[in-house]
Chain A
């Protein structure tokens, strides 16, 4: 384990940025945080988390896939892919790191791999940070995630005056090597104390006792026709806030954009909350907001675990809980529709 003082953080960032593009949470003008490319003068945000999740680094909101140009009767197909340069993402929370695993299961499960996703995934180094101050909306523990022990290529703990670094992968170790001059060896006493503190706080959170009881693989028959879906979706506006701030939502649409001179084929995030989600020539499979609303939660808590050895595709980051315009969220759904144990 290595350590550096918080005062020297800027120098550490500068050193990392020499080797690869460095991204970290930075405060926006409105006080919220967003990942931004580090440059001299940019400071690491104190916010617990960013509004938009770091899934964007591997699965951006829009990306061009291929382009077409026509001349006469010929169509030229242009490969717009470019090799991603190495980059480092600093300050990823434990929940968001887990979310990468959820995305990997979708994009990298079997061949053919998603080459766009793979390209970014291979070039990114993740530096996670333990959560000193979890928020009321946090419930990562429900999904077995420990915010005191975040994963990723490197894990980092912050104390009042220092930052503690621990490499978890070869890539992480190689990066730590690069900043060896700025860090020193240390024991794990301070980190152990920090972990204990975080664990204690976690038990005090309002959603600390939320469980996945009643949810998971094989529950489709039992939950699909629950009359409670209608009640819970009653106020849903059908906006895409929950899906777009979610670190694990991975649905996308592929569309063509006519540039006037050719066509750019791109993909962009889609939301199961939208009326034209998975629209086919035969029409929409989910006609009412109730069905769309149900799809989102059933996907995260039943269908996904069914296909991925019981892994839930919610990581309890709390973004949707904080941001839903009508404050309807997965925690309420889990309690109301799931097992009686939650009541």
Chain B
């Protein structure tokens, strides 16, 4: 995925029960999504601490996406409801600090939605690529 010659690095946190399986399904179905999307498997989307997201940006990510089960379908009953609140708050804060809001996203992807997973990643990568390199939450030491 390139826009104006820029290939972004995307970190995708995927919950073990739905979205990670969704990514697997996308692969099995030979659906293509950018190779620059690095998937990190987490037991539940609510395992994602705001610190993980900031650390991903620090280490050079240009965009961070969190994928979990659809609300109501959480393997642990309510984990993704907490994710929803936390991420709403965090994203709003990042925007408040002037950091581009398109660099973060939450998407619910079930184990059966391989096509949605691929489409989501393609769309997200394109949006992030259009923004270019992450300058506002970068740590130059990690870019040398």
Contact = CB atoms under 8 A, between A and B. Distances in A.
B11 to A, nearest CB: 12
Interface string B122-144: 00000000000000000001101
A209 B46 CA distance: 60
Interface string A215-257: 0000000000000000000000000000000000000000001
Interface string A253-287: 00001011110100000000000000000000000
Contacts, number: 11
Contacts of B60: 260
Contacts of A259: 141-142, 144
Interface string A146-170: 0000000000000000000000000
Contacts of B142: 259-261
A167 to B, nearest CB: 40
Interface string A76-105: 000000000000000000000000000000
B59 interface: yes
Interface residues of A, number: 6
A266 to B, nearest CB: 9
Contacts of A257: 141
Nearest to A69: B144
Interface residues of B, number: 5
Interface of B, helix, strand, loop or mixed by DSSP:
loop
A107 B142 CA distance: 30
A260 B139 CA distance: 11
B25 to A, nearest CB: 30
Nearest to A64: B141
A256 B48 CA distance: 25
Interface in B57-73: 59-60
Contacts of B59: 260
A307 B31 CA distance: 72
Contacts of A260: 59-60, 142
Contacts of B144: 259, 261-262
A264 B141 CA distance: 8
Nearest to B144: A259
A259 B60 CA distance: 10
A257 B59 CA distance: 12
A260 B11 CA distance: 15
A30 to B, nearest CB: 18
A120 to B, nearest CB: 21
Nearest to B141: A259
Interface string A297-312: 0000000000000000
A114 to B, nearest CB: 22
A260 B142 CA distance: 7
A260 B56 CA distance: 11
A259 B59 CA distance: 7
B138 to A, nearest CB: 12
Interface of A: 257, 259-262, 264
11 contacts: A257-B141, A259-B141, A259-B142, A259-B144, A260-B59, A260-B60, A260-B142, A261-B142, A261-B144, A262-B144, A264-B141
Interface of B: 59-60, 141-142, 144
Given A260-B59, A260-B142, A264-B141, 8 more contacts: A257-B141, A259-B141, A259-B142, A259-B144, A260-B60, A261-B142, A261-B144, A262-B144
The 5 closest A-B pairs by CB, nearest first: A259-B142, A260-B59, A259-B141, A260-B142, A264-B141
